């Protein structure tokens, strides 16, 4: 059974139904050997500003995530393979050749599946908690508990119609309140019943498929609860059943956390607009009060931007010797505010935040929730950037806290809190004029804010896009998202894959953390049309960029809306079309759910990072191929971006030939 070196993979497939230890150990070690180093980032990162900043920090002796990643080497193979179990105190247990089961008797399949489900539950909770805050804010705004206008009036009306609410004699505020109640109830319910959002949004074919497989979720809260329940010691013993709970998490994530959160946000703040901005570090000014917006929940950021535009603060900034207050976006809150309020310059995703701070150009760094690495504090101290946390779920020792209280109490104090933050930024500007600035001179233009509304405005409807897909001007469309991962040269596989796909006439939708390299390297501009194949160029007509930027991470909901509209015009199901989800450099728990949510919809997913499943041949085979029969989709992983791009092209060609399209 345990032939050491001479085994061949095909042969391995036939029998071993328990874990083949030798197999996984070699695979994980080879994977570990492929990990990038800081040196690689300095030499090969596609963004010259990134290479510059990593080198500069190195010279300055300031540590960042690339240093810390290198210091973690060699990475623990048990952890990487997913076969380390710390669920109970009979452990920790690890699967080795001589200990193929944990103390309780759990084997590699069960341990790997349980770990994966717990990570997915974390992702649902993260996006869900953020969505809940927005829903709750919408409710408070609707009921007059907080003085925020409901800006998405048209969205409120369309969602009311979608939910079948009677609109007679009701104000927009009343309807917004009812919508918030529905969204909150669906997310948190304990009593099973139909999910209105799912029924209204998901294609009927999908709903039948999920129902047949018994995967319909009760709601996000319950499915996270049940995932934690099933994975406690001595509970669910069947790894395949654990994977069913994994699927339910994927649906809860997409219906409540993503779609629900997106609906609430559009109702509250209005639909994103198309706008063109400058991007990358070269945009950093030295004569303005510079505030970074970092995180994932844009409520406070929205208020702070409005506040800084008030006469009083414009004057205060001038008196301090600045020409104004400028906002910069790091991560999703920055994107969210950018395409709704304008004039927020996108700089980096969360993983590059230390590089941004090290420019010395930021006076105040405002964070809300998620993607906030504790490592930023040391860098901020070094350059005397004040870090302000605004959310009780996301505090940092060493930061100043200016936020509303837990459970969103005193949200009506938002304007005062925003005043304090802007005042603090101006003060800090005055007191850190002597800090050395290092600003790499790279900046480009980026167009952002694509969604069904803005695209309908451009094309009239999605019919021209569907026609271009059918006639082959567009070979296929990918949704590019996820984050960046230190295992890979920062942003490199994202760029490499997109370069190959554009040449092959594949259109790219993007949003969230993976969209930053696209925005700051010029892909979200019509200037990037020369990167495309002839057919795609013909379709884009020099009017529209080849990479359509949809905004922040939850705008996956908007991207799926466009995929669905194209599918409707094509007369086919989304799952049968040349559509794919591509998250080459995902790293966090939400990244697991995001790709899963797409697979639930029938999109294949593509990655250059392995999930921690290599320790179980059964779970890995199931996830990487075995789900096709159930869901019509599977997960493709290869550390080589060229191979991933080729696989996408081959799969799109196959989908097209199945549809009898050329
Ligand atoms: Fe070990 Fe089982 Fe406890 Fe996990 S649940 S730590 S495998 S005894």
Q: For the segment 33-49, what is each residue's pLDDT rounded down to a tens digit?
A: 999 999 999 999 999 99
The beta strand positions in 449-543, using DSSP E, are 476-480, 506-510
7 band by pLDDT with thresholds 50, 70 and 90? very low
Are β-strands 93-94 and 84-85 bridged in parallel, bridged antiparallel, or unpaired?
antiparallel
The pLDDT of residue 562 is 96
- Verify whether ligand 1 is closer than 6 Å to residue 102 (CB atom): yes
d(CA 288, CA 318): 9
Ligand 1 center to 617 CA (angstroms): 19
Reading the block at residue 45, the tokens are 């990162």
- Verify whether ligand 1 is closer than 6 Å to residue 88 (CB atom): yes
Q: Are residues 145 and 241 in the same domain?
A: yes
Burial readout 233-246 (b: 16 or more C-beta within 10 A, e: otherwise): eeebeebeebbbbb
Residue whose CA lies nearest to ligand 1 atom number 5: 233
Our count of domains for the chain comes to 4
Ligand 1 center to 625 CA (angstroms): 28
- Verify whether ligand 1 is closer than 6 Å to residue 106 (CB atom): yes
Residue whose CA lies nearest to ligand 1 atom number 3: 88
Burial readout 506-524 (b: 16 or more C-beta within 10 A, e: otherwise): bbbbbbbbbbbbbbbbbbb
| Across 636-647, average pLDDT | 98
Q: Are residues 603 and 633 in the same domain?
A: yes
Q: Are residues 297 and 384 in the same domain?
A: yes
In a domain, residue 276? The reply is no
The pLDDT of residue 497 is 98
Q: What is the CATH number of the domain that holds 177?
A: 1.20.1270.30
629 band by pLDDT with thresholds 50, 70 and 90? very high
The DSSP result for 307-375, as a single string, is HHTSHHHHHHHHHTT-S-EEEEEESHHHHHHHHHH--EEEEE-GGGHHHHHTTS--SEEEE-SSS--TT
333 band by pLDDT with thresholds 50, 70 and 90? low
- Verify whether ligand 1 is closer than 6 Å to residue 213 (CB atom): no
Q: Are residues 88 and 117 in the same domain?
A: no
> For residue 512, how many C-alpha atoms fall within 13 Å in the half-sphere facing its CB?
30
User: Which atom of ligand 1 lies nearest, measured to the CA of 86?
Assistant: 6
Token look-up 């669906």 returns: 186
d(CA 445, CA 427): 31
Query: Among the three residues 393, 408, 431, which one is the final residue of a domain in this structure?
Result: 431
- Verify whether ligand 1 is closer than 6 Å to residue 92 (CB atom): yes
Residues recorded for the chain: 662
Ligand 1 center to 88 CA (angstroms): 5
Q: Is the pLDDT of residue 6 over 50?
A: no
Share of the chain above pLDDT 90, in %: 81
Alpha-helix residue ranges (DSSP H) falling in 99-212: 108-142, 153-162, 172-188, 196-201, 204-212
- Verify whether ligand 1 is closer than 6 Å to residue 237 (CB atom): no
Eight-class DSSP state of 241: H
d(CA 230, CA 232): 6
Q: Are residues 644 and 623 in the same domain?
A: yes
Cis peptide, bond prior to residue 74, ω within 30 of zero? yes
Eight-class DSSP state of 57: H
Ligand 1 center to 111 CA (angstroms): 8
Share of the chain above pLDDT 70, in %: 96
pTM for the structure as a whole:
0.94
Measured in whole angstroms, how far is the alpha carbon of residue 586 from the centre of its chain? 8
Helix axes 452-459, 556-570, angle to 10 degrees: 40
- Verify whether ligand 1 is closer than 6 Å to residue 232 (CB atom): no
Q: Are residues 285 and 265 in the same domain?
A: no
Q: What pLDDT, in 10s, does the model give residues 226-256? A: 999 999 999 999 999 999 999 999 999 999 9
Q: What pLDDT, in 10s, does the model give residues 9-31? A: 333 343 444 556 667 899 999 99
Q: Is the pLDDT of residue 65 over 90?
A: yes
- The SS3 of residue 530 is helix
Ligand 1 center to 96 CA (angstroms): 14
The beta strand positions in 513-647, using DSSP E, are 547-549, 579-582, 604-607, 635-637
Ligand 1 center to 90 CA (angstroms): 6
In a domain, residue 177? The reply is yes
443 band by pLDDT with thresholds 50, 70 and 90? very high
- Verify whether ligand 1 is closer than 6 Å to residue 228 (CB atom): no
- Verify whether ligand 1 is closer than 6 Å to residue 118 (CB atom): no
Q: Are residues 556 and 630 in the same domain?
A: yes
The pLDDT of residue 412 is 80
- Verify whether ligand 1 is closer than 6 Å to residue 84 (CB atom): no
556 band by pLDDT with thresholds 50, 70 and 90? confident
Q: What is the CATH number of the domain that holds 304?
A: 3.40.50.2030
In a domain, residue 13? The reply is no
Q: Are residues 638 and 498 in the same domain?
A: yes
Mutate which of 104, 107, 230, 232 to test ligand 1's pocket (most atoms within 8 Å of Cβ)?
104
Mean pLDDT of the chain: 92
Reading the block at residue 506, the tokens are 């594949």
- Verify whether ligand 1 is closer than 6 Å to residue 200 (CB atom): no
Ligand 1 center to 106 CA (angstroms): 7
User: Which atom of ligand 1 lies nearest, measured to the CA of 102?
Assistant: 7
The pLDDT of residue 157 is 97
Residue whose CA lies nearest to ligand 1 atom number 4: 85
- Verify whether ligand 1 is closer than 6 Å to residue 104 (CB atom): yes
Ligand 1 center to 250 CA (angstroms): 25
334 band by pLDDT with thresholds 50, 70 and 90? low
In a domain, residue 15? The reply is no
Q: Which residues constitute the domain of residue 645?
A: 444-658
The pLDDT of residue 411 is 77
User: Which atom of ligand 1 lies nearest, measured to the CA of 85?
Assistant: 4
Query: Among the three residues 371, 404, 431, which one is the final residue of a domain in this structure?
Result: 431
Q: Is the pLDDT of residue 52 over 90?
A: yes
d(CA 262, CA 199): 16
Q: Is the pLDDT of residue 164 over 50?
A: yes
Ligand 1 center to 591 CA (angstroms): 26
Q: Is the pLDDT of residue 1 over 60?
A: no
From residue 493, give the alpha-carbon distance in Å to each of 49, 220, 454, 529, 589: 17, 32, 29, 20, 20
Ligand 1 center to 213 CA (angstroms): 29
In a domain, residue 9? The reply is no
| Across 504-525, average pLDDT | 94
- Verify whether ligand 1 is closer than 6 Å to residue 151 (CB atom): no
Ligand 1 center to 232 CA (angstroms): 9
Q: Are residues 173 and 204 in the same domain?
A: yes
Ligand 1 center to 272 CA (angstroms): 47
Helix axes 299-308, 311-319, angle to 10 degrees: 70
- Verify whether ligand 1 is closer than 6 Å to residue 110 (CB atom): no
598 band by pLDDT with thresholds 50, 70 and 90? very high
- Verify whether ligand 1 is closer than 6 Å to residue 90 (CB atom): yes
Ligand 1 center to 68 CA (angstroms): 29
Mutate which of 83, 86, 88 to test ligand 1's pocket (most atoms within 8 Å of Cβ)?
88
- Verify whether ligand 1 is closer than 6 Å to residue 85 (CB atom): yes
In terms of C-beta density within 10 A (0-12 exposed, 13-18 middle, 19 or more buried), how is residue 427 classed?
middle
The pLDDT of residue 600 is 96
Q: Is the pLDDT of residue 554 over 80?
A: no
Least confident interval from 4-18, 26-40, 54-68, 474-488 = 4-18
Q: Are residues 348 and 424 in the same domain?
A: yes
Query: Among the three residues 269, 290, 307, which one is the final residue of a domain in this structure?
Result: 269
Ligand 1 center to 103 CA (angstroms): 6
Q: Are residues 621 and 474 in the same domain?
A: yes
| Across 643-647, average pLDDT | 98
8 band by pLDDT with thresholds 50, 70 and 90? very low
Residue whose CA lies nearest to ligand 1 atom number 6: 91
Q: Are residues 526 and 609 in the same domain?
A: yes
Token look-up 């079309």 returns: 577
Q: What pLDDT, in 10s, does the model give residues 379-431? A: 999 999 999 998 888 899 999 999 887 777 777 888 899 999 999 999 999 99
Comparison of pLDDT for 286 and 406, the residue scoring more: 286
In a domain, residue 312? The reply is yes
The pLDDT of residue 640 is 97
In a domain, residue 158? The reply is yes
In a domain, residue 439? The reply is no
295 band by pLDDT with thresholds 50, 70 and 90? confident
- Verify whether ligand 1 is closer than 6 Å to residue 233 (CB atom): yes
């Amino acid at each position: 059974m345990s032939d050491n070196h001479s085994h061949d993979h095909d042969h391995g497939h036939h029998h071993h139904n328990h874990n083949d230890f030798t197999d996984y150990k070699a695979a994980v070690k080879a994977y570990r050997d492929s990990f990038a180093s800081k040196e690689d980032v300095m030499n090969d990162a596609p963004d010259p500003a990134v290479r510059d900043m990593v080198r500069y920090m190195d010279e300055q002796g300031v540590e960042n995530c690339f240093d810390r990643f290198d210091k973690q080497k060699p990475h623990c193979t048990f952890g990487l393979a997913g076969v380390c179990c710390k669920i109970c105190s009979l452990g920790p247990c690890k699967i080795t050749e001589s200990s193929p089961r944990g103390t309780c008797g759990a084997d590699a399949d069960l341990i790997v599946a349980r770990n994966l489900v717990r990570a997915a539950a974390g992702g649902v909770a993260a996006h869900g908690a953020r969505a809940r805050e927005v829903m709750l804010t919408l409710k408070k705004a609707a009921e007059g508990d907080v003085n925020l206008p409901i800006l998405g009036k048209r969205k409120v009306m369309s969602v009311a119609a979608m939910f079948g609410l009677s609109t007679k004699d009701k104000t927009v505020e009343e309807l917004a309140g009812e919508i918030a109640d529905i969204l909150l109830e669906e997310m948190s319910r304990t009593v099973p019943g139909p999910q209105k959002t799912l029924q209204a949004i998901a294609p009927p074919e999908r709903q039948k498929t999920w129902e047949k497989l018994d995967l319909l979720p009760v709601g996000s809260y319950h499915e996270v609860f049940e995932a934690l329940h099933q994975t406690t010691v001595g509970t669910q013993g069947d790894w395949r059943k654990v994977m069913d709970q994994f699927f339910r998490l994927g649906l809860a994530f997409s219906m409540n956390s993503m779609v629900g959160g997106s609906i609430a946000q559009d109702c509250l703040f209005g639909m994103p607009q198309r706008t063109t901005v400058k991007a990358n570090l070269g945009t950093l000014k030295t004569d303005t009060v510079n505030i970074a917006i970092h995180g994932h929940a844009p409520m406070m950021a929205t208020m702070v931007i409005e506040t800084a535009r008030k006469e009083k603060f414009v004057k205060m900034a001038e008196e301090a010797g600045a020409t104004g207050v400028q906002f910069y976006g790091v991560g999703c809150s920055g994107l969210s505010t950018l395409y709704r309020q304008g004039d927020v310059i996108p700089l980096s995703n969360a993983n590059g935040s230390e590089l941004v701070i090290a420019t010395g150009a930021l006076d105040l760094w405002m964070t809300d929730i998620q993607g906030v690495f504790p490592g930023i504090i040391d860098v901020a101290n070094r350059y005397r950037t004040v870090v302000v946390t605004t959310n009780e779920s996301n505090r940092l020792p060493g930061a100043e806290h200016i936020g509303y209280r837990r459970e969103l109490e005193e949200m009506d104090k938002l304007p005062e809190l925003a005043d304090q933050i802007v005042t603090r930024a101006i003060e800090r500007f005055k007191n850190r004029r002597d800090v050395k600035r290092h600003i790499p001179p790279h900046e480009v233009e980026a167009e952002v804010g694509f969604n069904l509304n803005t695209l309908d405005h451009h094309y009239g409807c999605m019919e021209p896009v569907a026609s271009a897909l059918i006639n082959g001007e567009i070979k296929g469309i990918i949704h590019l998202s996820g984050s960046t991962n230190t295992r890979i040269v920062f942003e490199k596989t994202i760029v490499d894959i997109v370069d190959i796909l554009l040449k092959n006439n594949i259109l790219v939708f993007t949003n969230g953390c993976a969209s930053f390299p696209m925005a700051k390297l010029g892909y979200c501009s019509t200037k990037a049309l020369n990167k495309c194949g002839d057919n795609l160029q013909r379709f884009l007509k020099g009017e529209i960029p080849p990479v359509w930027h949809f905004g922040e991470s939850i705008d996956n909901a908007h991207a799926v809306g466009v995929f669905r509209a194209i599918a409707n015009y094509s007369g086919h199901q989304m799952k049968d079309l040349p559509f794919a989800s591509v998250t080459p450099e995902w790293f966090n728990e939400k990244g697991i759910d995001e790709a899963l949510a797409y697979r639930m919809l029938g999109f294949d997913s593509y990655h250059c990072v392995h999930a921690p499943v290599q320790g179980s041949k059964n779970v890995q085979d199931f996830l990487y191929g075995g789900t096709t029969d159930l869901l019509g989709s599977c997960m493709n992983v290869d550390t080589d971006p060229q191979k991933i791009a080729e696989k996408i092209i081959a799969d799109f060609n196959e989908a097209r030939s199945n549809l009898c399209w050329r």
